[in-house]
């Protein structure tokens, strides 16, 4: 959970609940309860499988917070899948970074705003 908390703190996503006995935790943005991002032990009892071709993306308000989240991911055991950079093939201002958490899940943090003046 330390990995996710460190990354989400950089982009303003707040812990909604955490139950270590179950175990599961969820995060959401501000006063909105949904959507939320949940991590938990698989209900099937089988090992976790991150799959291929799946990714969860989170919005950052600034390009600096993209950098902060990416660095937090790497500092907490994540693996780089793409350093923070402009990706104009998506759109003119798409600025994103990609990484995997310690379970192999691919995550993205992206800012869609133009650069700060």
Contact at 8 Å (CB) between 96 and 109?
yes
Q: What is the mean pLDDT of residues 40-49?
A: 83
Q: What is the mean pLDDT of residues 26-44?
A: 80
Q: What is the mean pLDDT of residues 2-31?
A: 88
Q: Is 11 exposed, middle or buried (0-12, 13-18, 19+ CB in 10 A)?
A: buried
3-class SS of residue 4? helix
How far is residue 50's CA from residue 38's CA, in Å, rounded to a whole number? 14
- What is the pTM assigned to this prediction? 0.83
| Residue 117 DSSP class | -
Which residue shows structure tokens 């691919």? 106
Q: Spell out the CATH class of 2-111.
A: alpha beta
**What is the per-residue pLDDT across 81-97, written as a single tens digit (0 to 9) for each?**
999 999 999 999 999 99
Cβ atoms within 10 Å, residue 17: 12
Where in the chain are the domains? Answer: 2-111
Please provide the DSSP assignment of 37-88 as one string.
EEEE--TTSSPP---SS--EEEE-SSHHHHHHHHHHHHHTT-EEEEEEEE-T
């Amino acid at each position: 959970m330390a990995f996710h908390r460190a990354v989400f703190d950089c982009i303003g996503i707040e812990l909604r609940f955490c139950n270590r006995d179950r175990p599961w935790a969820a995060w959401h943005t501000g006063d909105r309860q949904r959507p939320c991002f949940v991590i938990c032990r698989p209900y099937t009892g089988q090992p976790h499988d991150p799959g291929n071709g799946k990714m969860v993306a989170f919005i950052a308000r600034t390009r600096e917070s993209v950098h902060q989240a990416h660095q937090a991911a790497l500092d907490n055991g994540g693996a780089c899948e793409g350093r923070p950079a402009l990706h104009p093939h998506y759109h003119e201002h798409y600025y994103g970074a990609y990484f995997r958490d310690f379970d192999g899940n691919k995550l993205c943090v992206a800012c869609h705003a133009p650069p700060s003046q």
